[in-house]
Amino acid sequence: MKTFRASARARNFPRMSDRPLPENREARRRAILESAVRVFAENGFFAARIRDIAAGAGVAEGTIYLYFDGKDDLLLTAFREKVAEFCASVRDVLSSSLPFQERLSRFVAHQFESIEADPPLATVLLLESRQSSKFYGGAVRDVLRAYAQAIDELLASGQHSGELRPDADVPLARRMLIGALEEIELEWLLGDRTRPLVAMAPRVAATFFRGLATVG
């Protein structure tokens, strides 16, 4: 495997995420990524093996390296793509003319829904992604920034409409919201998953809103 990996890099294979793939190759790439998510969720990042990921995707082990550099690349690609998809999916919520609290509730519900719909992926996003030494080295910086900017945009719109206090510290409020959402999601993920997570969104939004709402 080391010989294959070295030769693949020596031939400078293009990164498959840098350009559109033919349909069959994109399907194979997606199958590999989905298999990686399952294996990481079941075994943990450090215990996960490329051979198991390949088997789950129905490809040869060497095929993985035509699409990804290895386990770190698989893990962080899954993180980047999922967060980017989420940011794109909430654009309508951010641009809506609904009252701030309702938009916040929909934003939270959408995030909770994505967690509840795919627990293995949620495990990778919330727990296993931090196991990669490259996570904090900038590999996911752009999508984390995009996620933060989406929340900042939502909070700033509440200030602009007069629903939130003009002196509210938006970056601080954003960090508090992200921390609260992660805590709730982790408690659900590691605990009793029979309790609907999405149903909590209105209460979360109402509690957060009361702390920032304009007085009077």
* Three-state SS annotation for the chain: CHHHHHHHHHCCCCCHHHCCCCHHHHHHHHHHHHHHHHHHHHHCCCCCCHHHHHHHHCCCHHHHHHCCCCHHHHHHHHHHHHHHHHHHHCHHHHHCCCCHHHHHHHHHHHHHHHHHHCHHHHHHHHCHHHHCCCHHHCCCHHHHHHHHHHHHHHHHHHHHCCCECCCCCHHHHHHHHHHHHHHHHHHHHHCCCCCCCHHHHHHHHHHHHHHHECCC
- Model pLDDT, residue 216: 56
Give pLDDT, residue 8: 39
Start and end residues for every CATH 1.10.10.60 domain found in the chain: 2-69
- Half-sphere exposure (Cβ direction) of 153: Cα atoms closer than 13 Å: 16
In the numeric block, the tokens 């921390």 are attached to 179
CATH 1.10.357.10 fits 75-212, yes or no: yes
- Contact assessment for residue 62 and residue 3, using Cβ atoms and an 8 Å cutoff: no
Rounded to two decimals, what is the model's pTM?
A: 0.83
Burial class (CB in 10 A: 0-12, 13-18, 19+), 100: buried
For 2-69, which CATH superfamily applies?
Answer: Homeodomain-like (1.10.10.60)
Q: What is the pLDDT of residue 126?
A: 92
Q: What is the pLDDT of residues 152-196, one digit of tens each?
A: 999 999 999 999 999 999 999 999 999 999 999 999 999 988 889
The pLDDT value recorded for residue 136 is 79
Q: What is the pLDDT of residues 102-141, one digit of tens each?
A: 999 999 999 999 999 999 999 999 999 988 888 877 888 9
CATH 1.10.357.10 residue window(s) in the chain: 75-212
